[in-house]
Amino acid sequence: MQIGITDLFQGVVVIKGLPGAGKTLLAARAASELGGAAWFTFYETAERLAKYLASAGLKPPRYVFDLVSVRDKSPVDFIVEKVLSLRPDVVVVDGISALTADGERELIHAVFYHGISREMPVILIKEGVEVSPADYVADTIIEVEHRIEEGYPLETSRS
């Protein structure tokens, strides 16, 4: 039996790792296979995210929300409000590391209280590999890491 990417992405999924390890690309790949995504980000504008994903051959999510520009409510309240009104196929929160530990706990509580993770996968992207509140309730934790192998010369193209 072969396990597909969508088999891993059920309930609450935490993708964590160091910067540049491929967390966003992995989440985007899963989101594209799962259907229409609502993507909440602390780090990217919708335009920048779309450009980044296009460079990897991926389509941008259906909805992208820049949490940095949210001023009238907490990021968690904003996420819950949008998810409950839009009912996307999958939710991605890119950058839970931007939340305080209390904010992360509040997000996890909201995801469970409103039953969001029962209705759709919730992918939480986290910078770093340390244990945080989301790890204790995640159905799946994926740690992405860099690996540099010796013996493979890098090719460069010259014009």
Domain for residue 156, yes or no?
Answer: no
> Where is pLDDT greater, at 7 or 29?
29
SS3 64: strand
157 in a structural domain: no
Interhelix angle for 23-34 vs 46-55, to 10°?
Answer: 90
Where in the sequence is the domain holding 11, given as residue range(s)?
A: 5-144
Indicate if the pLDDT at residue 4 is higher than 90.
no
CATH classification at residue 45: 3.40.50.300
Let me know if residue 159 belongs to a domain. Answer: no
Query: Over pLDDT 70: what percentage of the chain?
Result: 92
Q: Quick one: CA torsion of 130, 69, 12, 117, rounded to 10 degrees?
A: 160
In the chain, the number of structural domains is 1
- pLDDT of the residue at 153: 54
The pLDDT of residue 88 is 96
Look at residue 135 and tell me if it is in a domain.
yes
Evaluate whether residue 154 is within a structural domain. no
Q: How far apart are CA 97 and CA 132, in angstroms?
A: 9
| Residue 110 DSSP SS3 | helix
Report pLDDT for 43: 86
CA–CA distance, 99 with 60 (Å, rounded to integer): 24
User: pLDDT digits over 81-106, tens only?
Assistant: 999 999 999 999 999 999 988 999 99
Q: How confident is the model at residue 131 (pLDDT cuts 50, 70, 90)?
A: very high
Q: Is residue 153 part of a domain?
A: no
- Alpha-carbon Rg of the chain, whole angstroms? 16
pLDDT (0 to 100) of residue 155: 53
**Residue at 39 is within a domain:** yes
